[in-house]
Amino acid sequence: SAVISQKPSRDICQRGTSLTIQCQVDSQVTMMFWYRQQPGQSLTLIATANQGSEATYESGFVIDKFPISRPNLTFSTLTVSNMSPEDSSIYLCSVGDGKAETQYFGPGTRLLVL
């Protein structure tokens, strides 16, 4: 299994500012995933972050808005740039178990943009 921590756990931000969310895993993983969960909605994949290469973004998400870093096999950051109230969501980091393919999730970062 994998234990994932995220920072911050929650934040309230002003429109137009940016927030960087950190994700730390207790083991080395090849692929890390960033999801968004808007209020009352299910999870939507934002991008997949591989160490040593640029992140792969899903349709509707762009690097300028959600830049991602993956400096090593245990850490990743997601930045939400130039925030608007529509960015208010829970952002979750996730990794897969290479053997069992079970997906593990961090506790999430609750973001409120005013």
For the bound state, the minimum distance from the C-beta of residue 82 to other proteins, rounded and expressed in Å, comes to: 26
Burial class (CB in 10 A: 0-12, 13-18, 19+), 102: exposed
Pairwise CA distance, residues 62 & 45, whole Å? 12
Please work out the total of residues on this chain that contact other proteins, with binding judged by CB under 8 A: 22
Q: Is 108 in the site for other proteins (CB under 8 A)?
A: yes
Which of 92, 95, 111, 113 touches other proteins (CB under 8 A)?
Answer: 92
Pairwise CA distance, residues 85 & 67, whole Å? 18
State the CB neighbour count (10 A cutoff) for residue 52.
Answer: 9
Which of 19, 106, 111, 113 touches other proteins (CB under 8 A)?
Answer: 106
Q: Which is nearer to other proteins, 21 or 108 (CB)?
A: 108
Distances (CA, A) of 2 to 34, 49, 54: 16, 17, 23
Q: Is 42 in the site for other proteins (CB under 8 A)?
A: yes
Q: Which residues are at the interface with other proteins (CB under 8 A)?
A: 4, 31, 33, 41-45, 48, 92, 94, 96, 100-108, 110
